[in-house]
Amino acid sequence: MSLYLPLNPERYHPDPREPVDRWFQTASASNVRTTMEIVADLVGPACSAVVDPFAGGGSSATAARLMDLPFFGIEIDPVLACVSLAKSRATVGHARILQRLPPIRDLESLLSVLALLPTCASADEVAVASCLAVVLALRASRGTPLGYQEITGDLACHRRPAATGRLVCADATVPASWRDLPVPQEDAVLYTSPQFGRRSPLLGAPPRLTATARGVLASVGGDHGRSTTPEDSGFAGTTVAMLRQAAAVMRRATVVIEHEPDDDGHNATEETLERTAAALPGRVHNARFIFCGQFTWRGPLSLIVFDLR
Ligand SMILES: C[S@@+](CC[C@H](N)C(=O)[O-])C[C@H]1O[C@@H](n2cnc3c(N)ncnc32)[C@H](O)[C@@H]1O
């Protein structure tokens, strides 16, 4: 079955006014409110968690937070993994801890703050505050510093994050990355936007910031040590490889895959669903496409939706 639901592309682009999410939005980020609407429509109130194995800069982490749901994410880029973790777990308390330390204006000041943090915060607080510190350094490296007033103001209009949830910096297509991700076996939504091809925009953070972010995640147990880029197997190949791993640890879930064509306009929606059904025999039910209309110059955005059973 397929539905055609043309939507204003603006509804899929990230909103630069969205509290918390606006701390850092990747070029390919999704719109938080639209993600929430899709999850509410497709899963309803029974949803137990949001799982995003290509978490990027955390639009689904922010959506999970707003829906008061635990967030489980995997992201291969260490800086983006820190951004996602900060968006999903930061509180006003973490911002206040950082505010008492020297300002983060560059990599050197980030390193000083990271060294000081364990002396003035608990281990749990250090993990989240360190990731928030990486976000501040990332914004400073872009010449658009993020102020504490904006952070605390944004957090004041959010509820406290759900107590459970986890993020790992790893390759979502290999089993080890899912081993330490205690995703609920029932009734979660796997909502993700996979890399749509070789030329999908990359973050391009300064290499020393990336190395520092990796160090932060390693020290808090959120890094699984893979520093090489996995082989590019295209949208369908990467998505199916990830879904094999997800299906090994999740018994029942609603799966929503955002698809936008690669730079050459190649549309892999049907191929992805066919290959998924072949890779997971008997587990793909109620599959459908939701076509959302022209999105970028590359072509239309569509959602591949099915129940994993
Ligand atoms: C289209 S972006 C996701 C955008 C995201 N929704 C956001 O809010 O920024 C895809 C993400 O997948 C990550 N990625 C690519 N291959 C991966 C892999 N094998 N395992 C985990 N993450 C991967 C990329 O680093 C990128 O951040």
Radius of gyration, alpha carbons of the chain: 19
Distance spanning both ends of the chain, measured CA to CA: 18
Helix axes 107-120, 92-99, angle to 10 degrees: 110
pLDDT at position 295: 67
Is the beta carbon of 26 within 6 A of some atom in ligand 1?
Answer: yes
Average pLDDT, the chain: 90
Q: Stretch 148-153: mean pLDDT, rounded? A: 96
Instruction: Give residue 245 CA to ligand 1 midpoint distance, Å.
Output: 16
Name the region of 225 (left: φ>0; alpha: ψ -120 to 50; beta: rest).
left
Question: What residues does each domain of the chain span?
Answer: 2-308
Helix axes 123-141, 207-219, angle to 10 degrees: 170
Position 162 confidence tier, pLDDT thresholds 50, 70, 90: confident
Is the beta carbon of 173 within 6 A of some atom in ligand 1?
Answer: yes
Q: Where are the alpha helices (DSSP H) in the chain?
A: 32-42, 59-66, 78-89, 92-99, 107-120, 123-141, 148-156, 175-179, 207-219, 234-249, 269-279
Cβ-based neighbour number of residue 111 at 10 Å: 16
pLDDT at position 229: 63
Residues shown for the chain = 309
Instruction: Give residue 234 CA to ligand 1 midpoint distance, Å.
Output: 13
pLDDT at position 157: 84
CB 289 within 8 A of CB 301: no
Is the beta carbon of 172 within 6 A of some atom in ligand 1?
Answer: yes
Over residues 2-41, the pLDDT tens digits come to 666 666 667 788 999 999 999 999 988 889 999 999 999 8
Least confident range from 27-41, 133-147, 187-201: namely: 187-201
pLDDT at residue 246 tops 60 = yes
Is the beta carbon of 77 within 6 A of some atom in ligand 1?
Answer: yes
Instruction: Give residue 57 CA to ligand 1 midpoint distance, Å.
Output: 8
Atom 10 of ligand 1, nearest CA residue:
195
Is the beta carbon of 42 within 6 A of some atom in ligand 1?
Answer: no
Instruction: Give residue 80 CA to ligand 1 midpoint distance, Å.
Output: 9
The model carries a pTM of: 0.94
Instruction: Give residue 60 CA to ligand 1 midpoint distance, Å.
Output: 12
Over residues 198-237, the pLDDT tens digits come to 666 678 899 999 999 999 999 877 676 555 566 668 899 9
| Fold classified for 2-308 | Rossmann fold (3.40.50)
Atom 3 of ligand 1, nearest CA residue:
56
Atom 15 of ligand 1, nearest CA residue:
195
Among 34, 54, 174, which is best to mutate for testing ligand 1, by the most ligand atoms less than 8 A from CB? 54
Instruction: Give residue 181 CA to ligand 1 midpoint distance, Å.
Output: 17
Note every long-range contact of 16-22, with CB atoms under 8 Å and residues 24 or more positions apart, other chains counting. 18/62, 19/153, 19/154, 19/155, 19/157, 19/158, 20/62, 20/65, 20/87, 20/90, 20/154, 20/155, 20/158, 21/58, 21/59, 21/62, 21/87, 22/154
Q: Is 239 exposed, middle or buried (0-12, 13-18, 19+ CB in 10 A)?
A: buried
Please give the backbone phi and psi of residue 83, each rounded to the nearest 5 degrees, phi first: -60, -45
Closest ligand 1 atom to Cα of 14: 8
